[in-house]
């Protein structure tokens, strides 16, 4: 599972990208009430597949979400990807969740 993100992104080097490919790491807090989603970003799926270094783009999001196993389900990766998608969209990006 991954995110395909469309928008305007500027790398530290000043290079502009119109699209990013993100893989989201999901971690649960010790108390089980918060999911932390850490999106790592690549210039493309091809860059990810070819083990290229991820790109460093500053995204002004928190990527931390209240979590209740009873209502949010047990699949943390699915939950984290959906929440990260919502957060990117709230920042004005177009996002599609893509299955592997």
Q: pLDDT in tens for each of the 100 residues of the chain?
A: 999 999 999 888 889 999 999 999 999 999 999 999 999 999 999 999 999 999 989 888 889 999 999 999 999 999 999 999 999 999 999 999 998 6
The reported pLDDT for the residue numbered 9 is 93
The alpha carbon torsion through 41, 42, 44, 48 (nearest 10 deg) reads: -110
pTM of the model: 0.91
- Alpha-carbon separation of residue 36 from 21, 31, 64 (angstroms): 19, 12, 5
* Largest separation between any pair of C-alpha atoms in the chain: 44
The reported pLDDT for the residue numbered 12 is 84
């Amino acid at each position: 599972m991954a995110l395909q993100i469309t928008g305007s992104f500027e790398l530290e080097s000043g290079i502009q990208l119109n699209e990013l490919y993100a893989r989201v790491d999901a971690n649960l807090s010790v108390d089980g009430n918060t999911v932390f989603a850490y999106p790592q970003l690549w210039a493309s799926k091809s860059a990810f597949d070819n083990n290229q270094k991820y790109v460093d783009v500053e995204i002004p999001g928190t990527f931390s979400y209240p979590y209740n196993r009873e209502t949010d389900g047990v699949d943390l990766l699915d939950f984290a990807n959906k929440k990260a998608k919502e957060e990117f969209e709230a920042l004005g990006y177009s996002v599609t969740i893509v299955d592997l």
